[in-house]
């Protein structure tokens, strides 16, 4: 055991020196956990902000003017007034995301209780804001109409008082979600890429033959690559959380960083082993890239970091429970967002450990065969 640990330590040092001697790779890691996190968190927004809107006012009443005036920043830009004949041309040209049509006799029909219809035309190609923006406009129309009718009837008390409490993100700021999820996704992506490229680089440079003549086992070589690359990614992720997410972006971290670090370490063993496993099926770097890309995309999109698992088909939810990414995303969201303790996330930790051990066992067999084939 002591000899094995000594071999792993020396091989790990070799991997770290190799990584340190690659300035392009170091620059890439720095970019992924700094500028990429900041730009995506501040640029990719899911809430409505400064949306372009126009109003077709065929009523020209006090109520229709109130509705037009209520479409204000920061949700919307100041509404433009257009004619009915301009709607199709304006939306075809992409000038507006929303066009609100207020029909003739709208105010008089509302006052007489006839329930008039307001049409909201939505450019659904703007998926990030189309749904939320339509709901916001609908709420504005209903609110202004109800307020106007209460004033006209002399009643000031609304029939229902609805209070919404948003937990864990009171301002519904998508940056709080996007920044943390970007760090989590980068951990998974780089874990596969770095360990896989480490093996491919050994093979392309011919240094894999040097390892074969050394008194080391395939398991020791594999663990050294996993530990070295995993340590770099864990360190970069923790620095990114503290400096970029919490420091620059001002996103609060509710949970325990030591608990999160422990979960990251468990997650690292499974995904880094997956990267090595994929590398054993590739002979060159382009082959590895083509093989790893669909795996990374699938795990990225179906892990629950971009869309909730609950929205996926039942069979797919079941399958994804056996992937480390889905368990890690559930664990990270519970710890970092909701401040969960180990008593609430123990299942995800156990699941990640089990998946990691299984992946390591499969990788060890395949890695040993690959090393033996070089002999």
Mean pLDDT value across the chain: 85
Q: Are 201 and 158 in contact (CB under 8 A)?
A: no
pLDDT tens digit string along 120-137?
Answer: 999 888 777 888 888 899
Please enumerate, as own/partner, the contacts of 202-208 that have beta carbons within 8 Å and a separation of 24 or more: 203/283, 203/374, 204/284, 204/285, 208/371, 208/374
pLDDT tens digit string along 85-101?
Answer: 999 899 888 899 999 99
pLDDT tens digit string along 259-269?
Answer: 999 999 999 88
Q: Please give the angle made by the CA atoms of 166, 171 and 173, to the nearest 5 degrees.
A: 110
Q: What is the pLDDT of residue 162?
A: 64
> Which of 155-159, 187-191, 228-232 has the least mean pLDDT?
155-159
Q: Using N-to-C axis directions, what is the helix angle for 218-240 and 174-205, rounded to 10°? A: 150
Q: What is the pLDDT of residue 148?
A: 85
> Which of 66-80, 146-160, 227-241 has the least mean pLDDT?
146-160
Mean per-residue pLDDT, 164-186: 83
pLDDT tens digit string along 226-283?
Answer: 888 888 999 999 999 999 999 999 988 888 999 999 999 999 888 888 888 888 888 8
Mean per-residue pLDDT, 194-201: 84
Q: Are 194 and 231 in contact (CB under 8 A)?
A: no
Can you give the pTM of this predicted structure? 0.79
Mean per-residue pLDDT, 279-306: 87
Q: Phi first, then psi: what are they for 17, rounded to 5°?
A: -65, -35
For tokens 């990788």, name the residue: 363
Domains (ranges, CATH) in the chain?
2-44+173-374 (no CATH), 53-153 (3.40.1710.10)
Q: What is the pLDDT of residue 94?
A: 87
Percent of the chain with pLDDT over 90: 34
Look at residue 22 and tell me whether its pLDDT is greater than 70.
yes
Beta strands in the chain (DSSP E): 53-57, 80-81, 98-102, 119-122
Look at residue 372 and tell me whether its pLDDT is greater than 70.
no
Q: What is the spatial distance between Cα 328 and Cα 263, in angstroms, rounded to a whole number?
A: 7
Q: What is the spatial distance between Cα 296 and Cα 23, in angstroms, rounded to a whole number?
A: 24
């Amino acid at each position: 055991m002591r000899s094995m640990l000594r071999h792993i330590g020396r091989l790990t040092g070799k991997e770290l020196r190799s990584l340190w001697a690659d300035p392009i790779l170091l620059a890439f890691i720095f970019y992924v956990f700094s500028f990429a996190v900041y730009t995506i968190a501040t640029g990719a927004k899911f809430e409505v902000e400064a949306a372009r809107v126009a109003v077709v006012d065929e009523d020209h009443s006090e109520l229709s003017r109130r509705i037009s005036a209520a479409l204000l920043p920061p949700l919307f830009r100041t509404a433009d007034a257009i004619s009915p004949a301009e709607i199709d041309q304006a939306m075809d040209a992409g000038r507006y995301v929303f066009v609100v049509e207020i029909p003739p006799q709208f105010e008089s029909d509302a006052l007489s209780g006839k329930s008039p219809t307001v049409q909201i035309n939505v450019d659904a190609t703007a998926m990030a804001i189309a749904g939320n923006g339509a709901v916001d406009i609908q709420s504005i129309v209903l609110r202004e109409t109800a307020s106007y009718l209460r004033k006209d009837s002399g009643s000031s008390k609304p029939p229902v008082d609805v209070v919404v409490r948003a937990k864990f993100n009171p301002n519904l700021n998508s940056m709080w979600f996007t920044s943390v999820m970007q760090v989590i996704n980068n951990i998974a992506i780089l874990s596969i890429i770095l360990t896989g490229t480490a093996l491919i680089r050994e093979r392309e440079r011919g240094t894999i033959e040097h390892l074969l003549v050394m008194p080391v086992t395939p398991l020791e070589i594999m663990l050294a690559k996993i530990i070295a690359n995993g340590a770099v990614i864990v360190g970069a992720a923790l620095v990114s959380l503290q400096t970029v997410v919490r420091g620059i972006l001002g996103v609060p971290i509710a949970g325990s960083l030591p608990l999160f670090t422990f979960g990251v370490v468990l997650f690292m063993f499974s995904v880094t082993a997956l990267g090595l496993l994929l590398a054993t099926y590739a002979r060159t770097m382009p082959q590895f890239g083509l093989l790893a890309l669909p795996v990374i995309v699938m795990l990225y999109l179906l892990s629950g970091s971009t869309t909730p698992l609950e929205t996926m088909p039942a069979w797919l939810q079941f399958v994804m429970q056996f992937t480390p990414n889905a368990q890690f995303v559930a664990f990270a969201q519970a710890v970092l967002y909701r401040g969960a303790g180990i008593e609430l996330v123990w299942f995800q930790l156990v699941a990640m450990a089990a998946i990691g051990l299984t992946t390591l066992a499969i990788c060890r067999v395949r890695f040993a065969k690959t090393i033996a084939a070089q002999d």
